[in-house]
Amino acid sequence: MSEQTPADNKNVDDINVNKDTANDSAANESSPELKKHTFEAEVAQLLHLVTHSLYSNSDIFVRELVSNASDACDKLRFEATNDDSLYEDDGELKIRIAVDEDAKTITFTDNGIGMNEADAIENLGTIAKSGTKAFLDKLSESQKQDGQLIGQFGVGFYSGFIVADTISVESRKAGEPADQGVRWVSDGTGSFTVEPITKETRGTAITLHLKEQYSEGEDSYLDRGKIKQLVNKYSDHISLPIQMRKEVWQEDVKENENDDAPASGEMVLTDEWETINKASALWTRTASEIEDEEYIDFYKNITYDMDAPLAWTHNRVEGRVQYTQLLYIPKKAPVDLYTREQQHGLKLYVKRVLLWMKLSNYCQCTCVSSKGSLIQPTCH
């Protein structure tokens, strides 16, 4: 059974582009709107490593794409602190995952900051990070840690190519006209195409056209139950609602009402979206109700560190300024600790809204190896 978004849902666009259409678009070089680009050398090398070395931990694409969607929503919140119109009368931020068994696709959709054509080329076609070379070197040294490192170096989008032979992205940047949307398509081999589209709603929809081995059998990601389990495993801490279409049991109509045999039936999709994660930021909960295992899992999810933290502190201070602090100390120093271009610092949230990505004033050189640090002050 295929899963499709109701046409009257204006908040989120779920792409339902079949694989043949995506491939035809990539080949249609005669279109004046379609532009073909070549991946930069480091991206091409990365994509080769992703598809040939990371297949043993294929589940990580769910974690990475959900994390990217969450970041996009955080960026919108940050930008909207100065320009409330960016919400476009849709302030309920969310992430949605749609599965289409017929088209063999999974679509991750968010209504976050979105991208225009220039953003798509820069963010998806190049890697403007000094740590990329270190990432590639690290992959060669220890493939056991590949699944963790891919997110640590900010290249998690490409993990989609572990399970997909084509990825389609449709996006529109918040605050820009509907006709400024962009479609980005690639098979992950060496090039990608971009073309302008009209997209009524802001945000991004990433559609993975699954490889055959990941669309059938035990390894299939078209199983909604499996996707829900992976979200609960990797992304339960995400403070945004992560939603999937609700399934209900529908009994078949009996031909003979006097028949006492149990009624048969099947699970059917409804037009209702249900939240499948707790959608509760860990640091906002009382420390006494959080198990050590939850702290450790949260740390691993936000830092991509395979080891448990050396220590952590979680406390709430009340006075003229109230704030909650959750600070982790890793067991080992991060690999980019002595990279001059890399910034370190705490994340600052006010009323669960991210206002500062790396607040270095609170994290001096003697403790720059602290990770996953979160502060949520409430000023009176």
Beta bridge partner(s), residue 327: 313
pLDDT tens track for 142-184: 543 445 555 555 567 888 999 999 999 999 999 999 999 999 9
Average pLDDT over residues 52-79: 85
Q: Tell me how far apart the alpha carbons of residues 249 and 134 are, in angstroms, rounded to a whole number.
A: 50
pLDDT tens track for 79-89: 998 999 999 99
Q: Tell me how far apart the alpha carbons of residues 26 and 34 are, in angstroms, rounded to a whole number.
A: 8
Structural domains of the chain, ranges and CATH numbers in brackets: 19-242 (3.30.565.10), 282-379 (3.30.230.80)
* % pLDDT > 70, the chain: 67
- Has residue 352 got a pLDDT over 60? no
- Has residue 237 got a pLDDT over 80? no
pLDDT of residue 19: 42
- Has residue 308 got a pLDDT over 80? yes
- Mean pLDDT, the chain, integer: 77
pLDDT of residue 250: 84
Average pLDDT over residues 1-27: 44
298: confidence class by pLDDT, cuts 50, 70, 90: confident
Q: Tell me how far apart the alpha carbons of residues 188 and 320 are, in angstroms, rounded to a whole number.
A: 53
15: confidence class by pLDDT, cuts 50, 70, 90: very low
Average pLDDT over residues 190-213: 96
Query: What does the radius of gyration of the chain's CA atoms come to, in whole angstroms?
Result: 22
64-68, 227-231, 263-267: range with lowest mean pLDDT = 263-267
β-strands 242-251, 203-210 pairing:
unpaired
On whether the pTM is more than 0.75, the answer is: no
pLDDT of residue 40: 80
242: confidence class by pLDDT, cuts 50, 70, 90: very high
Name the DSSP class of 2. B
Q: Tell me how far apart the alpha carbons of residues 266 and 247 are, in angstroms, rounded to a whole number.
A: 10
Q: Tell me how far apart the alpha carbons of residues 174 and 256 are, in angstroms, rounded to a whole number.
A: 56
Average pLDDT over residues 284-307: 82
Average pLDDT over residues 204-225: 94
pLDDT of residue 180: 96
84-88, 207-211, 237-241, 256-260: range with lowest mean pLDDT = 256-260
- Has residue 248 got a pLDDT over 70? yes
pLDDT of residue 99: 97
Average pLDDT over residues 195-200: 97
pLDDT tens track for 117-146: 999 998 888 654 444 555 556 555 554 344
**What 3 state SS string does 306-347 have?**
CCCCCEEEEEEECCCEEEEEEEEECCCCCCCCCCCCCCCCEE
Q: Tell me how far apart the alpha carbons of residues 73 and 329 are, in angstroms, rounded to a whole number.
A: 27
- Has residue 7 got a pLDDT over 90? no
- Has residue 287 got a pLDDT over 80? yes
From 98, 107, 104, select the one nearest 269 (Cα to Cα).
98
Q: Which residues of 132-166 are buried (b: 16+ CB within 10 A; e: fewer)?
A: bebbbebbeeeeebbbbbbbbbbbbbbbbbbbbbb
* First vs last C-alpha separation in the chain: 53
